[in-house]
Structure 1
Amino acid sequence: MAVLAISSSAPLIAYAAAPALAIAFWRNAFAATVLAPAVGATRRPELTKLGWRGVLACALAGAALAGHFGTWVPSAKYTSIAAATALVATQPVWQGLIALAQGRRLPGVVWTGIAVAIAGAVVATGSDFATSGRAFTGDLLALAGGLMGAVYTAFGERVRATTSTLTYTSICYGACAVLLLIVCVAGGVRLHSYPATTWLAILAMTAGPQLLGHSMFNYALQRVAATTVSVLFLLEVPGAALLGWLWLGQTPRGGQLPGLGLLVVGVAIVVLGARRLMRLSPTPPEGA
């Protein structure tokens, strides 16, 4: 159910007749609106204990999340659903490189996975560059989305060690929505007057990928190894491509497929090899 929920994200973005940044803003704003009353009713002592430093840490994660949505959501408008989903799934690769910058040693198998993923990304984006400059721009945005997703997880990992998921996500989504709203207003992005079908798509994104999908993965982490959950996340790539084909008629280009397949294999190698990194980390990261 969680895989199906997150797989619907890119097809819904491509379907919605609204500016990409507006979609990113509304899905976070709606999610924060849903979570805030629950936090106020059940987490007041935690909010008091959190203090301004804790709130600031959650807000910094929200800023990184704004960078993630602000790049990946537009990518689903520029390139194919399959390419956008596969390239943003490089997040574990960026996560490994962030761990390296923090002084952790990467096992050799992780470096192998990074090399395979990079080779796949080069093949996939090279195919798009030869086909369309717009698609190539979308590929680069999706890669940036994966990088910002890794930064978001790195910030959130420390906060979640002492903060409940409900409190953390409420503050994080709220901060993300505020930053995206500022960007939308400054850039003159239209935030209203959409057709009813677009509002339904945005609400579906909020209920499905934003609240249901990731929440179910976080719940599963209490009973399933984080490595297993991370590999299951990769099922979003074929899931989104299948939904895009059946619903929107988006058939992945033949030149993309070898690169996308290689990329997914490389990311899976990184995730499986990261088991050794997890032993060095006091608090394994949850799903974003």
Structure 2
Amino acid sequence: MNAMNKTKVPIPVFLLIGIVAISFSAIFVRWSEAPAAIIAMYRLLMTNVLMLPFLWNYRVEIAKVRWRDWLKTAISGIALGLHFLFWMDSLRFTTVASSTAILTLEPIFVLFGAFLLYGQRTSRHALIAMCVAIAGAVCIGWGDFQFSGIALKGDMLSLLGTLAVALHMLLGKSIREHMSAFVYSFFVFLFAGLVLAVTNVYSGVSFTDYVPKEWGIFLLLAIVPTVFGHYVFNWLLKYMKASSVSMTVLGEPLGASILAYFILGETITTVQLLAGCVLLVGVGMFLRSNEKK
């Protein structure tokens, strides 16, 4: 996996791969009937199993990791685990479009946090582009928003998950300055998975009473949106600002909504498609203004 660091493939290719990969996450979760915490736990721990054969190659780096970085990595992992827990659970109560549209608030939280923690400033053009992209993303899910009952509960869970992943992204930017993507990702996934395991023990849910279909979904979640999605974004944190990586994640509402239309039979309107185009234009404008060539 460290070969990715030496690749000459343009950064936008990896951005596209990551966006498409995480767009499948909501689809796989909707297919599963297992508790959200179980889905998230096995998603992460199965990813660790897939990465384990390569871990020995990083033994020298692991031995040199400072305790402060271990602490940051643990907190980042806990935040990621809470993100998966809250967001996956939100899909039980609201639509894919609505839940993923709320995730579009992530860049705002990341941008604000990056200013407070690292003193990073953003140009006026980038801020305007962010507003354009977020407006497009919100419009994708606006028709599905409901401000009462079960749907509201789902939207609030998605918001909590967004706050958690913003913290994870900010910590990741700091750690990735001097830690490889592989080591950071492996232990972040491990800490997140262990937190979810403790949650499942406390809740008293079964760890094994699932049909083969569920185990297949867990594995798909580990391979597609985690390895090809979150791992790729962790790698990009060294080469891009955290706010830029967060902005690219805004492609998920559009990707997830399109996939939900073809796979789950959820509706998608002309307005949502036009909003998706606005979203993509906004993201492109933001990356052009916020990142150096």
For the aligned pair, the TM-score class normalised by the smaller chain equals: 0.7 to 0.9
Please say if 1:33 is aligned against 2:46: no
Q: How many residues of Structure 1 are paired with residues of Structure 2 in the alignment?
A: 275
Shift in Å, 1:197: 1.0
Equivalent of residue 202 in structure 2, options 176, 186, 194: 186
Contact 2:48 2:189 in 1 (8 A): yes
Equivalent of residue 154 in structure 1, options 162, 170, 177: 170
- Give CA-to-partner distance per residue, 1:10-60, whole Å, 9 cap, x none: 010011110111111110111122223311x20111011113332222111
Equivalent in the alignment of 1:78: 93
Q: Which moved more, 1:194-203 or 1:119-128?
A: 119-128
Contact 2:43 2:222 in 1 (8 A): yes
SS in 2 for 1:18: coil
Whole-angstrom CA distance in 2 between matches of 1:223 and 1:53: 22
Equivalent of residue 10 in structure 1, options 16, 19, 26: 26
Whole-angstrom CA distance in 1 between matches of 2:254 and 2:101: 9
SS in 2 for 1:170: helix
Tell me which amino acid in the other structure corresponds to 1:157: K
Equivalent of residue 140 in structure 1, options 144, 156, 163: 156
Change (3 A) 1:231 1:98: closer
Please say if 1:87 is aligned against 2:102: yes
Shift in Å, 1:168: 0.6
Contact 1:124 1:260 in 2 (8 A): no
Shift in Å, 1:105: 3.9
Q: Which moved more, 1:56-65 or 1:111-120?
A: 111-120
Whole-angstrom CA distance in 1 between matches of 2:160 and 2:259: 23
Contact 1:7 1:209 in 2 (8 A): yes
Contact 1:75 1:84 in 2 (8 A): yes
Equivalent in the alignment of 2:79: 64
Equivalent in the alignment of 1:129: 146
Tell me which amino acid in the other structure corresponds to 2:59: R
SS in 2 for 1:78: coil
TM-score normalized with structure 2 length: 0.78
Please say if 1:240 is aligned against 2:246: no
Contact 1:8 1:243 in 2 (8 A): yes
Whole-angstrom CA distance in 1 between matches of 2:69 and 2:139: 39
Equivalent in the alignment of 1:282: none
Tell me which amino acid in the other structure corresponds to 1:79: T
Q: Which moved more, 1:260-269 or 1:241-250?
A: 260-269
Shift in Å, 1:89: 3.3
- Give CA-to-partner distance per residue, 1:60-97, whole Å, 9 cap, x none: 11011112112111122221112222222332121112
Shift in Å, 1:7: 1.6
Whole-angstrom CA distance in 2 between matches of 1:84 and 1:59: 26
Change (3 A) 1:268 1:239: same
Q: Which moved more, 1:115-124 or 1:174-183?
A: 115-124
Calculate the aligned-residue CA RMSD, in Å: 3.6
- Give CA-to-partner distance per residue, 1:207-264, whole Å, 9 cap, x none: 1110123445566789999998766543332221122122222225x6xx86897699
Aligned ranges 1:45-56 → 2 under 5 Å: 45-56=60-71
Whole-angstrom CA distance in 1 between matches of 2:91 and 2:168: 20
Structure 1 vs Structure 2: percent identity of aligned residues? 28
Whole-angstrom CA distance in 2 between matches of 1:204 and 1:167: 22
Contact 1:92 1:267 in 2 (8 A): no
5+ residue gaps, structure 1: 280-288
Contact 2:90 2:158 in 1 (8 A): yes
5+ residue gaps, structure 2: 1-16
Contact 2:103 2:159 in 1 (8 A): yes
